[in-house]
Amino acid sequence: MPDLENTMIQRDFVEEMRTSYRDYSLSVIIARALPDVRDGLKPVQRRVLYAMIELGLQPDKPHRKCARIVGDTMGKYHPHGDSSIYDALVHMTEDYSLAIPLIDGHGNFGSIDGDSAAAMRYTEARLSDGAMTLLEHLEKGLVEFDPNFDESEKEPRVLPAMLPNLLINGTTGIAVGMATNIPPHNPGEVINGVIACMENPEITLDELMECIPGPDFPTGGIITNADELKSLYETGEGKIRIKARTEIENGENGRKNIVITEIPYTVAGRKTSLVENLVSLMKDRVFDEIYDVRDESSKEGIRIVIEVKKDRDAGNLLNGLLKKSSLEDTYGACFLAVKDKQPYQFSLKGMIEEFIAFQEELYTKEYQFLLEKAKKRLEIVEGLIRAVDVIDVIIEVLRGSDSVKQAKECLINGVIEGVRFKTETARAVASSFDFTERQADAILAMQLSKLVGLEILKLNEEQSQLLKDIRHYEKILKSRKELHKVIKEQLLIFKEKFARERRTAIMVSQSTSYVVEERVEDLYILGDRFGYTKAVDTATYQRAGEEALTEFTTRIKIKSNDKLGIFTEEGNLYQLKVSAIPKGRIKDKGTLLQVLTKMDKETPLFTMPYEDMFDAQFLFMTKGGLVKRVSGIEFDASRRVIAATKLAEGDRIAAIVPLSASEVLSGKMKVTVLTSKKLALMFSLEEIPEQKKTGKGVKGIALTKDETVTGIAVHDGKSDFLELDGKKLNLKKMRTRKRGLPGIKAVFE
């Protein structure tokens, strides 16, 4: 048994948590979420591209199943979930996300609408021309390689990127306590900026922004805060306001159409959500001016059409949509990337300077590689040329040697012992041989066909070219100016290949405002006894016969810009905009009033135009027999719902009756109350005191324990009969009594 007491390591829990979390954070930052400032790739992206070049998936080769690519990447370099690897692969195919896609996909890789890619077993891929600018020259030893996770393979620490991929394609990543969000830029503009920075290392930001005026999103759109871009490029952090590109066209039937042809980059990959958002703004009547929304996008491009109702201001509606929808959005930029295994926030110039420094390192290593290769070849060529002049002696050496080793020793060091010569002259020449080992190997491997005169001429020409190349390489390696010249030449070749017209326009901030257009019309609000409510226009109401309207217990004529006041049995008053009530036909079912007002299990009792309430008084009668009058001005409030009265515990409102000023002042009005036991009481309206809405009221009728008020009516007392609770009450057999007394037996006809 091991001695546990001596092998146990005791550590403070807090310190262990701190250390472990720090290690985890660093791993996420460096090995997962943030790109390297040199090649602009996150580890998973770099490993996918390297696995593809190892599989030989160059742009001129056939596509290969993505499942194979993901499998190689996961098995050799990235021991994480296959879904994260495939997601990274899919992202590198998206031409609406990247200025230069790095992978050429074949199959369903999703769309700008938000459709997801097909499973990896169905899709195929190969490298794009853009990816080759990052992967070429790997065999030249320009970058360092590290062991993979199980040390069975080698993988590049960084790709030898000769294109400023980080600025051109941008990136996004969320680490621990930090995040990066670098927008894509125009390839031609970025290359111009790099060249300008190489030609003038002291270039100012203003001068640099003449080359790179701002981001250039693949989805186009318009950047609306050009005045804030300088701060972003100076500090490496800021916000970019981008809006959709729109046009206003003439539509059918005299309507105008707002046509969206480019969407903000922030909704790229979520276009369907944008369309659904616009449709919901129409259905929820946030914008009453919208007649219809439809998506007419195709392979030719984006086309989302918003039809505007007749005689409405399309420009004003567009301003409102920019404020209320994602047609205008904010892109939060942060130029965060990894340098020397540490995260840094870069300015625009700082990022370009890092790329230039990386190019100087790459091209220096490349020309050192080429110089070394040329010198080695020159050594061989010079040896072959020398060998041709003494080829007869070399043949004698080969024929007179017992082994290749003996012949090689003679060629390198002139050792002739044991070698059989035909002539002493050949022996003397052979003893003077001093070929290098590389030359000796080339001579021994030389074919006899190389002795043809034309081949000898080629060797001389090759020697001349190699000497010229060596002088050229040495010149480049000795001069930074010459090195920059070579870098610029290559960048200009890339510019010719990848440059395109700017897609995203840049403009200075402009203030826009939306004015709600009020189109006032007369409507009728119809509601049945179940609470289903709808609005109909005047023409529809007038065409309907009285028979068709009998089912509606609520019929209110009101203006379209007015509101309804809705009292509930629970003592609350709700406000409801008429514009929020769906318009329909007489035969339509309508929408429950509880749904429209968002009531929580309350029962609507009485409804009237909200503006008419302030000129009236209201008679409140509770089921418990309490009664009061309240001035309508008490209900003037901006809140959607208020308490309309105070109720005793367990009590509810039985009825609410609006009273005009003439009815209150006449002194002749009567109040008749009917109870659940068919008892009735009639008394003068003057007996009911006026109270605040917070008052409970006074006793209107004395009730027994299990008796409640079921109906109430206000009348002038001149008629012999009164319609109450659906029945005709005989008033001749009743007489006016004092408020607060029990009722008498009601007589119905």
Q: Which residues are catalytic?
A: 122
> In Å, what is the CA distance from 330 to each residue of 125, 240, 511?
33, 6, 16
Distance, CA of 225 to CA of 510 (rounded, Å): 8
CA proximity to 218, closest of 260, 181, 263: 263
- The radius of gyration of the chain's CA atoms, rounded to the nearest angstrom, is 44
Length reported for the chain: 749
φ, ψ dihedrals at 402, nearest 5°? -85, -20
Distance, CA of 702 to CA of 714 (rounded, Å): 19
> In Å, what is the CA distance from 425 to each residue of 406, 430, 554?
19, 9, 131
- Structure letter (DSSP) for residue 614: G
> In Å, what is the CA distance from 336 to each residue of 134, 229, 348, 403?
20, 16, 11, 64
DSSP strand pairing (222-223 vs 505-506):
parallel
Ranges of beta strands (E only) in 280-432 are 290-295, 304-308, 328-334, 336-339, 342-345
Complete edge-to-edge strand list for the sheet that includes strand 653-659: 653-659, 617-622, 626-631, 698-699
Complete edge-to-edge strand list for the sheet that includes strand 670-675: 709-715, 670-675, 679-684, 744-745
Q: Which helix (H) or strand (E) holds 557?
A: strand 552-559
DSSP strand pairing (304-308 vs 256-262):
antiparallel
157, burial (CB in 10 Å: exposed 0-12, middle 13-18, buried 19+): middle
State the chain's maximal CA–CA distance in angstroms. 162
CB 29 within 8 A of CB 176: yes
- Structure letter (DSSP) for residue 286: S
Q: Reduced to 3 states, what is the DSSP secondary structure of residue 708?
A: coil
> In Å, what is the CA distance from 233 to each residue of 218, 220, 229, 507, 680?
20, 20, 6, 16, 83
Helices (H), 119-241: 129-135, 165-169, 187-199, 205-211, 229-235
Distance, CA of 541 to CA of 522 (rounded, Å): 11
Q: In 10 A of CB 653, how many CB atoms?
A: 24
Distance, CA of 495 to CA of 187 (rounded, Å): 7
Question: Three-state secondary structure along 664-684?
Answer: HHHCCCEEEEEECCCEEEEEE
